Chains A and B, each alone.
Chain A
Amino acid sequence: MDNLKNSYKKDLYSVIEDIESNSKVEIVTMIKSQSGVYRDISFFYGAVILFLAYSFFMFSPPEFDVYLIYFFTIAAFVIGFSIVEFISPIKSILISKKRKNKQVEIYARAIFQKAGIRHTKDKIGVFIYVSVFEKQTYIIADRGAEMSMPNEDWEEIKTKFQNVFSTPNFYQAVIESLQSSKPFFSKYLPPVENDVNELPDNLDVDI
């Protein structure tokens, strides 16, 4: 498992290295399993089920033992909470798209800031953030990078990355999307002689 992750990381970095040797852009890519915890959703649905179970015990015709009521309402909460908390597709449906998008944006911006991607002299840092649970990609291009390319082309790159979620091999698709955006970067942000990678190798993304 770790080996697989390592070899993927190596490939990911190699692709970016390749892009950067043909362009002055400085790309950082991050794939994160989720951008938020959304535990309130699980608590909320746990509480709903608890309420339903409690109502059932209270008002249904048969008489129930107090222990049964006590344990079952607690159990109902745990089950309701767990179903939402641990079964991602269910959780995903229950959270509004707007909230998910907002969460991804907040997270991406926070990392862009914390990792110091804006610390390039010509403002040519580009952060590609892929959040798996939310099925969202968020790309932040620093001022210099953003202005160097027509918006239409940025949109095309963004679409490429958004499409990774509808492919069978998601991880490979991220790498392929990077590869296919290479021409954009080398065209609009051509390499300069004696250019140095300004961003550090060990980015601090702990937030």
Chain B
Amino acid sequence: MKLYKLLYISVIALFAFFLINSILPQVTSARPGGGHSYSSGSSSSSSSSSSSSSSSGGGTYSGGSSQSGGGSGEFTWLGMLILVSIVAAAVFIDKYVTNRKEAKEILSTPTRENFRENTDKVEKAIKELKKIDPNFSKTLFLDFASSIYTKYHSWYDKPELKNLVPYMLNVRIDNNKDEAIKKHIYNIVIGSIHISEVKLQSATQGIVVTIEANYSVKQNNKRTRYIVTEKWNFFRDAGVLSHEPEKMRELSCPNCGAAANFTDAGVCESCGTLIKPGEMQWELLTSSIQNQEVFETGGLAYYAPEKGTGYETLFQKNYKNEFEVFAKNNNVEFEVWKNNFETKVAKQYFTKIYDAWSTNNLNVVRNLLTDRLYESFDFWIKNYKRKKLLNKLDNVKVYKVEFVKVDTDKFYESVTIRIAASCFDYVQNKEGKVEGGSKSIPRVFTEYWTFIRRSGVKIDDYDYSKCPNCGAPANKIGQTGICDYCDTKISNGDFSWVLSIITQDEVYKG
């Protein structure tokens, strides 16, 4: 039984009680044509004790003369009670009616369970795909999709867009002759990207990617920043094999491997081959925007309540078995590897990255992050800086690390853990004043972290202050993730683990 029903019934019961209690003597004592209520006031004055109450309450009882003075006092009390009840009832009705306004609804959107089933379906399909195409790597595919996404937007108004002809069915250069209203898209940041559907058909194979991103559009010298969620639908002819990492990461001719430089018709300038979409590489068939909104920096200090911390951990199907296989491939004892990874990789990365974030200084952890994650962090840090804010994360404590998923393909290994931690999470301004969050109440939260590493690399932990390749100080690794000393890209996971994805509980789908 709901509280409001109880309240409602008790109010009604009170009324009923009052009704019976008062109507009965009322009827017997009513005098046809008798004096009005104030006339009986004299009777109450006879009982001096209640005179004050009766004068203020004004002849409470028309038949009071026949009753004792005490009766009239009781009646006033009851009257007050009724009044209070009415007010209470009114307040409650108002509240209840307001609740009703947000009437209960059931909308046919996917539940966590539906998402879970979809993830299983996608994973199963990827396994199938790997059987047909042993070169397929989820990590590389997502890198490829990201690169097409970024290039498409940054080349939107430029002649280079023709280089995407082999990868997109409908490339359309913004031929707007009017420079003033031509759109220029820049600062493209991909916040998250994941595979939401895999379709293995007899003639073609399709992969749908969901991308959350934000970018700026300059038009008529005015700048607007958008946050978007888009679905990009890639496909290729069945039987095409995936390319090696170098050809997947950088846009290059799928035939000769030269850097992408195509004619308007899609002929490679280097080898002269006509690259028809989908014949040698994934091609974008359609894309659709699912959500879009204008980005405002006003919400930087806003804290939404933590969601999903209480959710059960989502483990990969047969995860224990999968981890055993992973350990065997790497010639390690799973338990030993796990303990080492937890203390020397997971917890280290976690505290280092949180510290770096806290000081608006991402450079010190550049070697621990993939390009995409770095760019997305960098976007937020830049916004905090622009607003002269600092998102402090103090007293970081890691409570628990769970190993939930492992994925291995020909080129990459990925390990996902769920980390439970707490910290004082707040946003402060230049003067050190807290503008959001709390310095005294720790925020308890959990996150899913996915690390990637090139297959075959055995190194788990290393001196994180040094370049994992040349051993020089890791202080000259720029935005691109290339060590200035040895001129080698280290953000691809070619030497050890790099953190590639952070997912919040409420959005993690397995």
Bound CA–CA A14/B121 (angstroms): 13
Which one of A137-145, A152-160, A197-205 is at the interface? A197-205
Set of chain A residues within 8 Å of B510, measured between Cβ atoms: none
CB pair B30 A71 closer than 8 Å: no
CB pair A12 B231 closer than 8 Å: no
Set of chain B residues within 8 Å of A205, measured between Cβ atoms: 105, 107
Set of chain B residues within 8 Å of A68, measured between Cβ atoms: 22, 26, 62
CB pair B62 A65 closer than 8 Å: yes
- Cβ-based interface call for B285 (8 A): yes
- Cβ-based interface call for B386 (8 A): no
- Cβ-based interface call for B265 (8 A): no
CB pair B60 A67 closer than 8 Å: yes
CB pair A71 B58 closer than 8 Å: no
- Cβ-based interface call for A74 (8 A): yes
Bound CA–CA A163/B268 (angstroms): 62
Bound CA–CA A162/B292 (angstroms): 35
CB pair B105 A196 closer than 8 Å: no
CB pair B37 A196 closer than 8 Å: no
Bound CA–CA A34/B291 (angstroms): 28
- Neighbour of B108 across the interface among A5, A28, A64, A67, CB < 8 A: A28
CB pair A196 B106 closer than 8 Å: no
Interface residues as binary, A48-76 with B (CB distance below 8 Å gives 1, 0 otherwise): 00000000000001111111100100110
Set of chain A residues within 8 Å of B235, measured between Cβ atoms: 194
Asked whether A194 and B199 contact (CB < 8 A) given A30-B105, A65-B37, the answer is: yes
CB pair A63 B106 closer than 8 Å: no
Asked whether A196 and B26 contact (CB < 8 A) given A78-B86, A202-B109, the answer is: no
- Cβ-based interface call for B177 (8 A): no
Set of chain A residues within 8 Å of B329, measured between Cβ atoms: none
CB pair B32 A62 closer than 8 Å: yes
Closest to B64 in A: A65
Q: How far is the CB of B212 from chain A (nearest CB, A)?
A: 11
Set of chain B residues within 8 Å of A199, measured between Cβ atoms: 290
Bound CA–CA A200/B79 (angstroms): 57
- Cβ-based interface call for A93 (8 A): no
CB pair A196 B231 closer than 8 Å: yes
Of B22, B89, B108, B204, the most chain A CB neighbours within 10 A belong to B108
Closest to B115 in A: A201
Set of chain A residues within 8 Å of B57, measured between Cβ atoms: 67
Q: How far is the CB of B11 from chain A (nearest CB, A)?
A: 8
Set of chain B residues within 8 Å of A121, measured between Cβ atoms: 286, 288
Q: How far is the CB of B71 from chain A (nearest CB, A)?
A: 12
- Neighbour of A196 across the interface among B62, B82, B111, B286, CB < 8 A: B286
Set of chain B residues within 8 Å of A63, measured between Cβ atoms: 30-34, 36, 62
Q: How far is the CB of A140 from chain B (nearest CB, A)?
A: 14
Q: Which of B84-104 contact A (CB under 8 A)?
A: 86, 89-90, 93, 97, 100-101, 103-104
- Cβ-based interface call for A85 (8 A): yes
- Cβ-based interface call for A99 (8 A): no
Bound CA–CA A81/B97 (angstroms): 12
Q: Which of B191-226 contact A (CB under 8 A)?
A: 197, 199, 201, 203-204, 206, 208
- Neighbour of A27 across the interface among B106, B108, B231, B286, CB < 8 A: B108
- Neighbour of B231 across the interface among A34, A62, A71, A198, CB < 8 A: A198
Set of chain A residues within 8 Å of B8, measured between Cβ atoms: 82, 86
Closest to B103 in A: A33
Q: Which of B70-89 contact A (CB under 8 A)?
A: 75, 79, 82-83, 86, 89
CB pair A13 B60 closer than 8 Å: no
CB pair B104 A6 closer than 8 Å: no
Closest to A67 in B: B79
CB pair A64 B62 closer than 8 Å: yes
- Cβ-based interface call for B450 (8 A): no
CB pair B103 A32 closer than 8 Å: yes
Bound CA–CA A206/B89 (angstroms): 29
Asked whether A34 and B100 contact (CB < 8 A) given A13-B108, A193-B204, A198-B231, the answer is: yes
Q: How far is the CB of A27 from chain B (nearest CB, A)?
A: 7
- Cβ-based interface call for B266 (8 A): no
- Neighbour of A13 across the interface among B30, B34, B89, B109, CB < 8 A: B109
Asked whether A78 and B204 contact (CB < 8 A) given A8-B106, A32-B105, A34-B103, the answer is: no
Bound CA–CA A132/B114 (angstroms): 25
Q: How far is the CB of A151 from chain B (nearest CB, A)?
A: 24
Interface residues as binary, A1-22 with B (CB distance below 8 Å gives 1, 0 otherwise): 0000111111011101100000
Set of chain A residues within 8 Å of B462, measured between Cβ atoms: none
Closest to A131 in B: B103
Set of chain B residues within 8 Å of A78, measured between Cβ atoms: 11, 15, 86, 89-90, 93
- Cβ-based interface call for A31 (8 A): yes
CB pair A82 B93 closer than 8 Å: yes
Q: How far is the CB of A77 from chain B (nearest CB, A)?
A: 9
Set of chain B residues within 8 Å of A28, measured between Cβ atoms: 107-108
Bound CA–CA A31/B18 (angstroms): 42
CB pair A13 B114 closer than 8 Å: yes
Closest to B58 in A: A66
- Neighbour of B75 across the interface among A17, A67, A197, CB < 8 A: A67
CB pair A200 B31 closer than 8 Å: no
Closest to B34 in A: A63
Set of chain A residues within 8 Å of B22, measured between Cβ atoms: 68
CB pair B86 A74 closer than 8 Å: yes
Q: How far is the CB of A23 from chain B (nearest CB, A)?
A: 15
Q: How far is the CB of B6 from chain A (nearest CB, A)?
A: 13
Bound CA–CA A121/B233 (angstroms): 14
Closest to B287 in A: A196
Q: Which of B289-344 contact A (CB under 8 A)?
A: 290-291
CB pair A85 B97 closer than 8 Å: yes
12 A-B pairs whose Cβ atoms sit less than 8 Å apart in the complex: A6-B111, A8-B106, A10-B114, A12-B108, A14-B114, A28-B108, A31-B105, A32-B103, A78-B90, A82-B89, A85-B93, A201-B109
Question: Lowest 5 A-B CB distances belong to which pairs?
Answer: A62-B30, A200-B290, A29-B108, A33-B103, A31-B106
Given contacts A32-B103, A71-B18, A78-B11, list 4 more A-B pairs with CB under 8 A: A28-B107, A66-B59, A67-B75, A71-B79
